[in-house]
Amino acid sequence: MRIVILGAGFGGLEVATRLVDAIGGQSGVEIVLIDRSEAFVAGADHIDFLAGRASLADVRHPFAESIDPRVRFVHSDVHRIDVAHRLVETTEGSFEADVLVVALGAELDVAATPGLAEAGHEFYSVPGVLAARRALDAFEGGQVVIGVCGTPYKCPPAPAAATLAIHDVLVQRRVAKRTEVTLVMPTARPIPPSPDASDAVLAAFDHLAITWRPETGIERLDPARRVAMTTGGDEIPFELFFGVPVHRAPDVVIAAGLCTDGWVRVDPATMETAHSGVYAVGDLVDIGAPKAGVFALAQAAVVAASVVARFRGEVDPVRGSDTGVCYLDIGRGRTNAIEVTFEPGGATNVVWHGPSPAVTEAKARDALDRVRRWFPREIGDR
């Protein structure tokens, strides 16, 4: 059985690792993992990098040198997916699959917000967060605006976490006293799925004199006048603007005919699309759950179990619920945990744990465990 996994992010790496653990190296099993990037950097690490808590070298994991040798990694751009024949065309040639797993994430559509590329920064891509940090390092004071340009977007806590990280940097650089920081979001709460975590964030904002503007989207930036135009029709002046760009499914996935209303639809019990043997996981899927790594992991577990059952000629296993945890730093090293339980039908339950040494330790341990499982050849280096 040849299993071709498109995308080596949270979803793709987790599917590949679970398949290796269950059936890797067995006769007749070939696991191919394709990604256009050379290395993995977790989204949460963008925030730590922005805050100066981690260097890029600490959080960058090159695929070719570190993933399990029972996975064939292909560094290549996927430019066509033929779902009827489970055939994929890439810059490194074509791949036919018995099972195809589409885990290409969400595309950042910076151009959908006029002026963002010219006058602002985004911190959701690796080049974006590098440029954002350089801009912060050169900043001498004024208005800093963090704005969400559209929903849905990856990781509900990320805009608030980035705002607090940016404020930390301004304090370290001694420019906070001559700076006003504002977070503008289209949602009613800073962390939509969790009222408790939202209250903790709002208390931190209050303490740090960060302005919070709910239920306000960013429509465009005027680079000449350096103002952000909101969906409510008013203008917010800025010296520095950090935007969460509009997200959409990757073009190659839309062109494959996998999307309905902009995102991929799957059977949430199996994560299989309407096309037999074609699965989808992660940010490009719409099953009503937020776009976050913890959900991609839970969905990947479902896909891997289905594929293993298929390989062994067994009946698809019945799934239980799966729990994952998102961590949120609210400044001065205080880490909160947002625990999310994912039910096979797509329902979610959210529990918040306030800051404690145990939560801080759990964050570090979870990240390290993931690195050890996904990049086993790297263990000796760290």
Ligand X SMILES: Cc1cc2nc3c(=O)[nH]c(=O)nc-3n(C[C@H](O)[C@H](O)[C@H](O)COP(=O)(O)OP(=O)(O)OC[C@H]3O[C@@H](n4cnc5c(N)ncnc54)[C@H](O)[C@@H]3O)c2cc1C
Q: Which of 16, 35, 143, 330 binds ligand X (CB under 6 A)?
A: 35
Closest of 354, 358, 357 to residue 336, by C-alpha: 354
| Closest CB to ligand X among residues 43, 331 | 43
353 contact partners, CB below 8 Å, separation of at least 6: 336, 337, 338, 339, 359
| Cα gap 99→112, rounded to integer Å | 34
Contact between 193 and ligand X per CB under 6 A: no
As a whole number of angstroms, the distance between CA 291 and CA 166 comes to 23
DSSP 172-208: HTT-GGGEEEEEE-SSSSSSTT-HHHHHHHHHHHHHH
d(CA 292, CA 353): 18
What is the per-residue binding string for ligand X in 294-323, x denoting contact by CB under 6 A? x-x---------------------------
Should residue 20 be labelled a site residue for ligand X when binding is judged by CB under 6 A?
no
Can residue 11 be called a binding residue for ligand X (CB under 6 A)?
A: yes
Which of 4, 33, 43, 370: binder of ligand X (CB under 6 A)?
43
CB 236 within 8 A of CB 226: no
Which of 111/209 has CB closer to ligand X? Answer: 111
Tokens of 75: 């560094």
Q: Residue 192, interface with ligand X (CB under 6 A)? A: no
Which two three-digit tokens encode residue 375? 């990049």
Q: Which CB atom, from 42 or from 170, has the smaller least distance to ligand X?
A: 42
| Under 8 Å between Cβ of 190 and 202 | yes
DSSP 235: E
Among 37, 211, 231, 348, binds ligand X (CB under 6 A): 37
φ and ψ at residue 318, rounded to 5 degrees: -80, 130
Is 150 a residue that touches ligand X (CB under 6 A)? Answer: no
> C-beta of 37: minimal distance to ligand X in Å?
4
d(CA 63, CA 40): 7
Q: Which of 326, 330, 350, 371 binds ligand X (CB under 6 A)?
A: 326
Q: How many residues belong to the site for ligand X (CB under 6 A)?
A: 35
Does position 282 interact with ligand X (CB under 6 A)? The reply is: yes
259 binding ligand X? (CB under 6 A): no
Stretch in the footprint of ligand X (CB under 6 A) among 6-14, 17-25, 213-221, 262-270? 6-14
Print the binding letters for residues 201-240 with ligand X: x by CB under 6 A, - otherwise: ----------------------------------------
What are the residues binding ligand X (CB under 6 A)? 7-12, 34-37, 43-44, 46-47, 77-78, 103-105, 123-124, 154-155, 158, 250, 252, 282-283, 291-294, 296, 326-327
